[in-house]
Amino acid sequence: MARFHDGQEIDRATHSTNFTEFTVKKAMEGSLVTTRLLLILGYIAIVALAFVVMTIPGPGMYLGIVFFLAVIIVVFFTWPLTTIEYEYVTASGEITFTTIIGGGKMKKENLKFKIKDCEIIAPYTSEHTDKFATVTKKYDFRRSVKDTEDIYFAVINEKDAKAMVIFQCTNKALKIFKSYNKEHTVSVDTLRY
């Protein structure tokens, strides 16, 4: 039987104690810094080309204006691509990791798996990760590789190989993990969210 509030059906997943959603904005480091620098160099090159074209007698002025307009359009469409967020949602015993680019302009679901299928869900410390040194694939959904606070990992089986998923954990998510996979979930009491 459906439950209603103010004439609208309530989505049980979002009003459940088994639902949580958490989003982190990726820090400006590593390949993101490189991408931004390359984009800036590209923008400068187009502007320089526009100045060179403007010196051509006749149609040069018009072509230069076209190049300046092209820079504005290129910046408008490419610069937001350097804003990346990671979101994870737990609902109905599953966890879904999504990459959000450009403040929501593009979303890509990266990974989805059942919590009960995890071999381990534990703090991302050498005490726990050393046991999984042979993991062949890693998914990293942390805000920053320098982050150490609230970082957890899960090990899942993926196409005949093990994969490690690294993410920032919240207290509510940890409670959900424990309810679906108590045997393989290691909890700590120092989470800030």
Q: 100-114, pLDDT tens digit by residue?
A: 998 778 899 999 999
In a domain, 77, yes or no: yes
Contact predicate 94/73, CB 8 Å = no
For 142, residues 6+ apart whose C-beta sits below 8 A from its C-beta are 24, 86, 151, 166, 167, 168
- The identity of residue 161, as a single letter, is A
Give me 191's structure tokens.
Answer: 């989470």
Domain-located, residue 86:
no
Rg (CA), the chain: 23
Q: How far, in whole angstroms, is CA 131 from its chain's centroid?
A: 26
Residue type, 114: K
- In the chain, the number of structural domains is 2
Instruction: Tell me the torsion sign for CA atoms 122, 124, 128, 132.
Output: positive
In a domain, 59, yes or no: yes
Residue 171 neighbours by CB distance under 10 Å? 16
36 falls within a domain: yes
Is 23 a domain residue? no
Q: What pTM value is reported for the model?
A: 0.76
In a domain, 102, yes or no: no
Summarize pLDDT for 55-75 with one digit per residue, the tens: 888 777 788 788 788 888 988
Residue range(s) defining the domain that contains residue 36: 31-81
120 and 73 both lie in a single domain: no
pLDDT band at 4 (very low <50, low <70, confident <90, very high): very low
pLDDT on residue 7: 46
Spatial distance between the Cα atoms of 51 and 140, rounded to a whole number of angstroms: 43
Residue 13 is assigned to a structural domain of this protein: no
> 180 and 119, same structural domain?
yes
The pLDDT-based confidence of 152 (bands split at 50, 70, 90) is very high
The answer to the question of residue 179 being in a domain is yes
Tokens (6 digits) for 141: 């959904």
